[in-house]
Amino acid sequence: MNYQACVCNLCGTGCGQFLKTDGTRVLGVAPIVSHPVSKGKLCVRGWHANELLNTNERITTPLIREDGRLREASLDEAVSLVVRRLGECNGAADEIGLLASARSSNEDGFALRRLAREVFKTHLLGVGAEAGHRNSMDSLSHAFGYPGAVGDLTRIDKADYILIVGTDIARQNPIIGGNLHAAQRRGARLVSLSSSRTQMAKLSTKHFQQKPGTKALVLNALAKALHALRTVNHARHADIDRLAGYTQYVNALRTISSVALENASGIRYEEIEEEAQILDAARSVVILFPSGISGLDKRTIEAICNLAVLTDRMDDPQSALIPVAGISNLQGSFDMGLSGEAGHSVFGSLADPDSPLRALFVVDHDDGIIRNRERIAALELVVYCGAFRNAFMDLADVVFPLTAYNESDGTYTCADRRVQLTRKNTDTPGAGLPGWRVYQAIAEQAGYTWGWRDAAEVFLAITDAIPAYHDLTHHRLAKGFGIHWDITAFPAAGQMKFHEVQIDYPKSPTCEEFPFALMVGKGRHFWHQNNLMRKTLIPRREYDQTLLLYPQGYVEICPEDAQKLKVKDKWLVHLTSSTGTSMKIAVKVSPDVQPGTAYIPYFIKNMISDFLIRYDNAFSAGEESIIPVRIEEK
């Protein structure tokens, strides 16, 4: 049998995937029919994992920079060099930073964290997409007592009522999107809240197309309407009104004015009241929202958590509240403690030219565009660990080859806390090693003995150190399709709380001079700026074909606005932002965006470097970020 079961590592859904392999090369892909979430389906990325895993753009040996060029080196040589050079830096004084990967296995992540704290003694640790996910985790912890999804993804299959906030999940996590579509067909009410008419919105029972920046307001209005109904009906079973924060929350909700709501969001309160009736009648409620790189802002997530608590349905066995991660092990890397600590941000250190940072240790960097490039280039030492060649190598002084996800044993924790095991099924080309081996080798050279012989032993250390993983082992995980980590490991689990809310009516930052609200997000195949997909054949072609039509990228506007501007599809326009940055870009006329708004997928290169870079919060505010712009015919 050439088919080996594993877990797709290309997004946070964690689909069950077979790889057809002869042990040295991956020849094909098949879906796992009995997987409880993916149920025999894969998306375009999962189906083409074989192309990625066959790329020749692999790092196959340790490399050391000498006279400006990277040369091959032995593992010992590279390890010694790293230990010696990092030994000269003071980690405790924030001189060493680590950038972890949200695609690495839990074993790798755990070992990396240990390397940072125990060997390098640094607190400067972070994962690429952490900001958004940390917001989600903080909000969930506050509301439900633990940093992770409430319920799990299989509940989509039975729930009465499903609310999707923000994301075009049909594009970002298509297999979850497929399950949602199936739920809608079996009769569940599927409601989308998003400012553009996404494919998911089109497949929903109801789409609330709010003005950008007002998701939190709309969610709070829905909570108000629901609360009003509940008060009248006296229908509830938990003591919602005794939960911490209840009074403040309800009082704040009461202040929502329907006129102001409609002005700000474009949505009528009556419409929301009707929706509340249906929500009220639902026995089980599933709420999904995007988390990670294009996640939601804190206030929106808090509004979601509050609404979830208020529905009084979260303890139903078919209810769930899930932060849907775009990257495979975002949840796991958070669990492993890789997403830094308050007051110690590796990103902050990089952005601050006066920070004490001297050295940077990077694993599998995902962005096609490297921010703070000059700062990184000026560091004394940059170490890069990865399976695939990457632009970051140009900045690295030492490079370690890692295994791809199917070339070593490892566990991955997907969006709904499901921990799944992938076993090695194919040899690594060259001298690639699992991350934990590289980190252990460095620790050993520096005088620390960790003593792990295989990934299962690393996992044992994880179960000792991380309470939520206490009852898991590779042996247990090898059967079936993963196990959700244990929420009861968190003492506060089950104690619900409301977030404090503030009602305000975001005014569009647009003005006469900059009349368009520009939103930044993802395009169809433009996953994580598409670094990995660029190493495939078919997904890359799919990615490129949009650029064939719009070689300079595109900004999406609605037909009415196009008419007003007197521009047609593919015409070049000048886009000028209120801070003065500008770019030339083609227009894409599409009925999917609202009048007065414009949409750019953020994969377009010069958009980030020339245009967005000044809007730091455009990244952190995710889908809710709005930039006032002017569009002029060229």
Partner 1 sequence: MYLLTTQDINDLARELQKTHAVYGPQVNAQTGQVFFDLLAESELPDLDAAIPSMPVKEILFPQMERILKYSYDAQAQRVTLEKQYGEKPKVLFGLRPCDLAGIQCLDRFFLGQEFVDDVYLAHRRQSLLITNTCTRPWDQCFCVCTHTGPAADEGFDLDLTRLDDGYLVQVGSEKGQALADAHGWKTAEHRRLAEKAAVVDRCVERFPDQAKDNKAWISRAMNRITTGFVKHEIWEYIGQQCFECGACSFVCPSCSCFNIEDVTLCGDSCERLRTRDSCSFSGYTRMAGDHNPRAPVEDRRNKRFFCKLSYTQSKKYLRPGCVGCGRCQLVCPGDIGLPNVVQYIRRETTE
5 binds, options ligand SF4, partner 1, none, Cβ within 5 to 8 A by partner type: partner 1
Residue by residue, DSSP assigns 315-371 as TSTT-EEEEEESSTTHHHHHHTT-S-BTTB-HHHHHH-TTS---EEEEES---SS-T
243 binds, options ligand SF4, partner 1, none, Cβ within 5 to 8 A by partner type: none
Q: Of 166 and 174, which CB lies nearer to partner 1 in the complex structure?
A: 174
Q: How far is the CB of 268 from partner 1 (least distance, A)?
A: 26
Q: Of 17 and 318, which CB lies nearer to ligand SF4 in the complex structure?
A: 17
Torsion of CA 627, 630, 631, 634, to 10 degrees: -130
Q: How far is the CB of 414 from ligand SF4 (least distance, A)?
A: 8
Contact 314, 90 (CB under 8 A): no
Question: Could you tell me which residues are beta bridge partners of residue 517?
Answer: 597, 628
The secondary structure of residue 44, as a DSSP letter, is: H
Closest of 407, 415, 406 to residue 329, by C-alpha: 415
310 binds ligand SF4 (CB under 6 A): no
Closest of 281, 313, 305 to residue 155, by C-alpha: 313
Q: Of 16 and 553, which CB lies nearer to ligand SF4 in the complex structure?
A: 16
Neighbours of 512 (CB within 10 A): 6
Question: Could you tell me which residues are beta bridge partners of residue 320?
Answer: 286
Pick the piece of the chain touching ligand SF4 (CB under 6 A) from 35-43, 139-147, 179-187, 592-600: 35-43
3-state helix, strand, coil in the chain (%, to 5): 40, 20, 40
**Which residue minimizes CB distance to ligand SF4?**
46
45 binds ligand SF4 (CB under 6 A): yes
97 binds, options ligand SF4, partner 1, none, Cβ within 5 to 8 A by partner type: none
Question: Could you tell me which residues are beta bridge partners of residue 207?
Answer: 192
Instruction: Candidates 18, 35, 46, 484: give the one binding ligand SF4 (CB under 6 A).
Output: 46
Q: How far is the CB of 46 from partner 1 (least distance, A)?
A: 8
524 binds, options ligand SF4, partner 1, none, Cβ within 5 to 8 A by partner type: partner 1
Closest of 477, 506, 502, 450 to residue 626, by C-alpha: 506
10 binds ligand SF4 (CB under 6 A): yes
Closest of 137, 135, 116, 134 to residue 125, by C-alpha: 116
Instruction: Candidates 6, 29, 42, 438: give the one binding ligand SF4 (CB under 6 A).
Output: 42
Angle at 374 (CA atoms; ends 579, 443), nearest 5 degrees: 130
Pick the piece of the chain touching ligand SF4 (CB under 6 A) from 7-15, 131-139, 303-311, 400-408: 7-15
The secondary structure of residue 200, as a DSSP letter, is: H
Angle at 331 (CA atoms; ends 327, 335), nearest 5 degrees: 145
Q: Of 15 and 583, which CB lies nearer to ligand SF4 in the complex structure?
A: 15
Pick the piece of the chain touching ligand SF4 (CB under 6 A) from 152-160, 172-180, 271-279, 450-458: 172-180
56 binds, options partner 1, ligand SF4, none, Cβ within 5 to 8 A by partner type: partner 1
174 binds ligand SF4 (CB under 6 A): yes
Q: How far is the CB of 14 from ligand SF4 (least distance, A)?
A: 6
Distance, in Å, from the CA atom of 219 to the CA atom of 345, rounded to the nearest integer, reads: 31
Q: How far is the CB of 494 from ligand SF4 (least distance, A)?
A: 30
288 binds ligand SF4 (CB under 6 A): no
Sheet holding 418-422, edge to edge: 410-413, 418-422, 483-484
548 binds, options ligand SF4, partner 1, none, Cβ within 5 to 8 A by partner type: partner 1
Contact 533, 607 (CB under 8 A): no
Query: Residues binding ligand SF4: what is the number (CB under 6 A)?
Result: 14
Residues binding partner 1 (CB under 8 A): 1-3, 5, 16, 18, 20, 27-34, 40-44, 46-47, 50-51, 54, 56, 170, 174-175, 177-179, 181-182, 185, 199, 202-203, 524, 537-538, 541-542, 544-545, 548-549, 570
CA Rg, the chain, in Å?
Answer: 24
266 binds ligand SF4 (CB under 6 A): no
369 binds, options ligand SF4, partner 1, none, Cβ within 5 to 8 A by partner type: none
Q: How far is the CB of 30 from partner 1 (least distance, A)?
A: 5
117 exposure class (CB count in 10 Å sphere: 0-12, 13-18, 19+): middle
| Footprint of ligand SF4 on 13-32 (CB under 6 A) | 13-15
Distance, in Å, from the CA atom of 272 to the CA atom of 225, rounded to the nearest integer, reads: 7
332 binds ligand SF4 (CB under 6 A): no
Binding residues for ligand SF4 (CB under 6 A): 8, 10-11, 13-15, 38, 42-43, 45-46, 173-175
